């Protein structure tokens, strides 16, 4: 860019993740790019943020009055974020074996979605204001360290992964992980967040499920009815069938008192 004379103030460069392999390499890449372009000319992106339903998360939260009063530890029991892929590494064996599921999906895509679901309201919809609130909530993520890793994190590898081209025969690179996280701030203290992601799973599906707390008291008098009561769930479907669903409890049609 620099040698071609294309680094004029109107030039823009979009850089998609992975942006370096670790903090040191990312900082070095920043330094090199900064020698050629100004910060306002560089756009570092995660393509998950381009998905229509991901872009809709903030609009659903802050464009509708019904959600915000409930969007906190008083009413939310837990939140699940799932990214399931039916495919394997698809010819990317060398890259994936050096990267693994944490670098490939968790620290990028899933944390981006988590931050949008949990951030405070920004001052405006400007990029810098949204970024600041996302950084704020990510800084509140509780670190999983020591023996807690064995309690809150599961790793797995799909059968046949070691037979993929350019994958080490004794590879221990995980292709699946499930973990429980917490955000230590006023809004979310004590609410668990369950992140799940993996390859070669039963179906391709990415979604966020906000599971609300159960009712404090069953008023319907019959044990079998009370046992049928389930939590309300707001599901944000990112792919393949994009949309937002709200699950509520209602009475079944008929003379008897049955709920669904």
Q: What residues are labeled active site? A: 109
List of long-range contacts for 221-225, beta carbons under 8 Å, 24+ apart: 222/257, 225/257, 225/258, 225/259
The CA radius of gyration of the chain, in Å to the nearest whole number, is 22
Please state, in angstroms and as integers, the Cα–Cα distance from residue 226 to each residue in 211, 222, 234, 259, following that order.
18, 6, 21, 9
CB atoms within 10 A of CB 124: 9
Contact 42, 51 (CB under 8 A): no
CB atoms within 10 A of CB 71: 19
Candidates 195, 163, 25, 196; CA nearest to 97 is: 163
What's 241's DSSP letter?
A: S
Find how far residue 131's CA is from the centre of its chain: 16
| CA angle 80–81–87, rounded 5-degree value | 135
**CA-CA distance, 109 to 204, in Å (whole number)?**
15
**CA-CA distance, 43 to 12, in Å (whole number)?**
8
Find how far residue 218's CA is from the centre of its chain: 33
Please state, in angstroms and as integers, the Cα–Cα distance from residue 85 to each residue in 115, 176, 257, following that order.
22, 10, 41
Tokens of 41: 């000319």
């Amino acid at each position: 860019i620099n040698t071609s004379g294309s680094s004029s103030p109107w030039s823009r460069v979009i850089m998609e993740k992975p942006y370096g392999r670790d903090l040191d390499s990312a900082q070095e890449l920043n330094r090199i790019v900064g020698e050629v372009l100004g910060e306002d000319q560089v756009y570092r992106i995660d393509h998950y943020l381009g998905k229509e339903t991901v872009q809709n998360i903030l609009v659903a939260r802050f464009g509708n009055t019904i959600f915000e009063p409930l969007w906190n530890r008083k009413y939310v029991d837990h939140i699940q974020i799932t990214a399931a892929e039916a495919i394997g590494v698809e010819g990317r064996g060398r890259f994936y074996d050096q990267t693994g599921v944490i670098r490939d999906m968790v620290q990028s895509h899933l944390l981006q979605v988590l931050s949008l679901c949990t951030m405070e309201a920004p001052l405006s919809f400007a990029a810098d204001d949204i970024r600041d609130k996302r950084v704020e909530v990510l800084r509140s993520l509780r670190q999983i360290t020591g023996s807690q890793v064995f309690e809150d994190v599961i790793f797995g590898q799909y059968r046949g992964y070691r037979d993929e081209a350019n994958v080490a025969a004794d590879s221990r690179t995980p292709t699946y992980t499930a973990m429980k996280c917490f955000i230590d701030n006023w809004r979310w203290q004590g609410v668990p967040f369950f992140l799940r992601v993996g390859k070669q799973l039963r179906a391709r599906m990415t979604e966020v499920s906000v599971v609300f707390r159960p009712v404090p008291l069953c008023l319907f008098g019959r044990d079998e009815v009370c046992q049928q009561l389930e939590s309300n769930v707001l599901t944000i479907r990112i792919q393949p069938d994009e949309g937002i669903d709200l699950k509520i409890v209602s009475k079944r049609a008929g003379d008897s008192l049955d709920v669904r």
